Amino acid sequence: MDFNPTADQQMLADTLRRFATERYPLEARTKLAGTPPGYSLEAWKQYAELGALGALFDPEVGGYGGGPDDIATVFEALGSGAVVGPFLACLMSGTCLASAGGAVAETLLNAVIAGDAVVAYAHQEPASRYELSHVETAAVADAGGWRLSGAKAVVSHGDAADQILVSARTSGATGDALGISLFLVPAGSPGLSIRGYVGVDGARSAEVVLDQVVLGPEGLLGDAGGALELIESATGAGIIALCAEGLGALDVVKDMTAEYLRTRKQFGQPIGSFQALQHRMATVLIEIEQARSALTNAVAAFGGPRVPRERALSAAKYTVGRVAALVAEEAVQLHGGIGMTWELPLSHYVKRLVMLDHLLGDVDHHLERYIALGRAA
């Protein structure tokens, strides 16, 4: 199997990197981070026109990519530019929309791909601890429609969304695999409360509370009670995206640190000439390649049987998270006191790398999951 990007993928990656450098520099990202929506609406539309969103979805649903390698290509380029925006939210919600099908989902997904709509993905709950089947939010049938109540945590760009894709339990007990459904909740619905905030990495998230939110029958996405498979599929795509974004950021951090070691002088010579620091950089290089290999393995297993696929995804998320922590620490230490200053671009990448580990499961969660799946096999 050839793991190298195709000519089209390489062209898209180069285009996205060049656009981020020339039209959406880090200074612009920093300026936008503090206020909603936390990203440039103009740049978001331009990313859509460049094909960054279309590459995430199959041609059958209006995109022109949709494979795990396409997702990795886009997000690695976004990671190298430290780009903020609802890319992950639209990938995961769009994956559910594409799988569920139907006229409503098709129309909304086309709007997402065109950059005309943002759909947030609200599945994680305050007490779920990354477990996909842990859903306490309840949906009760009511007068031909539905009435939703519950809370969702760390909803990426939830305060900028036109609609929010919400998981809720229509039957069963908390933790049951069956009984979970997906609903489309328009922003501004009575009973819907959204509190946006900025994370340490400058990316916006939101806490979402639903208090007797009433939806019509069209609010249900797909079949009632059988959404866990869709959620697992969307989570897998999200893990591929986060690992690839992490690799893009890791490469930039590595290059920044190597350049600093070449130019910073101590005792009349570049500090990169000191053997102890060379050994530390060699470890950084080796660990980043380990992370790249883990992502490649996850991409290769993505279309295969469930258990090997999920183990490969957990292995990749664990490896990238572990390597990100190691490289971030080394980069800051090798830069000395300036390593975490807001004015230094390095600090923005380091903070993003730290936050990536806590999205869709941290290293502890995925190590435990990898072991548990191995026992189940």
Domain segments of the chain: what residues?
A: 7-118, 120-225, 229-376
Size (the chain), residues: 377
Residue 226 carries which DSSP code? B
Q: Using alpha carbons, select from 259, 312, 254, 262 the residue that is nearest to residue 285.
A: 254
- Per the CB < 8 A criterion, the answer to whether 257 and 334 are in contact is yes
If one counts every other C-beta atom within 10 angstroms of the C-beta of residue 49, the result is 12
If one counts every other C-beta atom within 10 angstroms of the C-beta of residue 116, the result is 12
Please tell me the predicted confidence (pLDDT) of residue 305.
Answer: 95
> Tell me, what amino acid is at 69?
D
Please tell me the predicted confidence (pLDDT) of residue 32.
Answer: 82
- Per the CB < 8 A criterion, the answer to whether 118 and 90 are in contact is yes
CATH superfamily of 120-225: Butyryl-CoA Dehydrogenase, subunit A, domain 2 (2.40.110.10)
Report the Cα–Cα distance between both ends of the chain, in Å, rounded: 25
Please tell me the predicted confidence (pLDDT) of residue 181.
Answer: 97
Please tell me the predicted confidence (pLDDT) of residue 10.
Answer: 94
CATH superfamily of 229-376: Butyryl-CoA Dehydrogenase, subunit A, domain 3 (1.20.140.10)
Q: Using alpha carbons, select from 139, 127, 144 the residue that is nearest to residue 217.
A: 144
* Tokens of residue 313, six digits: 């995804």
Alpha carbon 367 to chain centroid distance?
Answer: 19
Q: Rounded to an integer, what distance in angstroms lies between the CA atom of residue 169 and that of residue 181?
A: 6
* Tokens of residue 352, six digits: 């993003």
Contacts of 64 (CB under 8 A, 6+ apart): 51, 54, 55, 57
The CA R_g of the chain, rounded to the nearest whole Å, is: 21
Please tell me the predicted confidence (pLDDT) of residue 34.
Answer: 74
- pTM for the whole thing? 0.95
Comparing 120-225 with 229-376, is the CATH topology the same? Answer: no
CATH superfamily of 7-118: Acyl-CoA dehydrogenase/oxidase, N-terminal domain (1.10.540.10)
Strand partners, 45: none
In terms of DSSP bridges, do strands 204-215 and 265-266 run parallel, antiparallel, or are they unpaired? unpaired
Mean pLDDT by 10 residues, the chain (377 residues): 83 95 84 84 95 96 94 97 94 96 93 96 95 96 92 96 97 94 96 94 94 95 93 97 97 95 89 90 96 97 95 98 96 87 88 95 96 86
Give the largest CA-CA distance in the chain: 79
Please tell me the predicted confidence (pLDDT) of residue 272.
Answer: 85
Distances in whole angstroms, Cα of residue 135 to Cα of each of 90, 140, 166, 169: 21, 14, 10, 6
Please tell me the predicted confidence (pLDDT) of residue 273.
Answer: 83
Give the SS3 label for residue 255. helix
The DSSP string of 284-323 is HHHHHHHHHHHHHHHHHHTTS-HHHHHHHHHHHHHHHHHH
Alpha helices in 34-179 (DSSP H): 41-50, 68-80, 87-100, 103-113
**Residue 315 buriedness (CB in 10 A; 0-12 / 13-18 / 19+):** buried
Please tell me the predicted confidence (pLDDT) of residue 377.
Answer: 65
